[in-house]
Structure formats: structure tokens, C-alpha cells
Amino acid sequence: MSEDLTGRFVVALDLDGVTDKAGLMDRAARALSLPDWFGRNWDALADSLSDPSVWPRQAEGSGLLVVVRGWEGYAKERPREWETAQEVFTQAMRVMPALTVALALGGTS
């Protein structure tokens, strides 16, 4: 985790090896340091992404950049779920301008 050139706090959400929604939710909870009460469903993810009060403390005041890596396998294995994930990311960014979710292209190394 670090800052990008705009001063936003950067979090890597690594989905390498994730094959289902539960895996995506677990990785998101861990990467974003979400609270124990995080519901591990699409609505809870959308709420968490658009609520700076549950973001990592370092993002406070600067904004958050979530870089999603290793997503290609999940997208291929679960295309409908991946479509929903992208909709959640997009909607959260519309609601919260201090949030950017970027999809990294290429490998995870």
C-alpha cells in the first residue's frame, strides 16, 4: 500500500486464484481492512467502497485508489459475477468521487 501521484492511498486487490464470489469478498475484506461485520455480499461491498469511514485509515482525507490485479481468471471462470463486480465498482465510484477502482492488465508479478 502506498500513495499514487494524486495523493490517493493505493490498495492492491489481488484476485489471482479467485474462482468465486466468496473468494472475491474475502480478498476485498482483507485488502481494504474491512470490519468484521462486513457482509460479504454485493450490497455490502458497494456500501463499503462508497463509505470512507470504513476505508483504510491512511485514505482519510486523500481518497482511495483500488488497483484490481489478477482478475482475468475470475472474469473467465465467473463472467456474470465479474460483470456484477464491475457494476459495483462503477456505482461506488459514481457515489464517491474520492474513490477510483482501476483494473490492472497483465500478470500479477
**pLDDT digits 0-9 by tens, 27-43:** 999 999 999 899 999 99
> What pLDDT is attached to residue 108?
47
Intervals of the chain under pLDDT 50: 1, 108-109
Fill in the amino acid letter for 55. W
Query: Nearest 5°: CA angle at 63, between 68 and 106?
Result: 20
Domain residues of the chain, as ranges? 2-103
SS3 label, residue 87: helix
Q: DSSP per residue over 21-55, as a string?
A: HHHHHHHHHHHTT--TT---SHHHHHHHHT-GGGS
3-state class (DSSP) for residue 88: helix
2-103: CATH topology: Barnase; Chain D (3.30.370)
pTM of this prediction?
Answer: 0.89
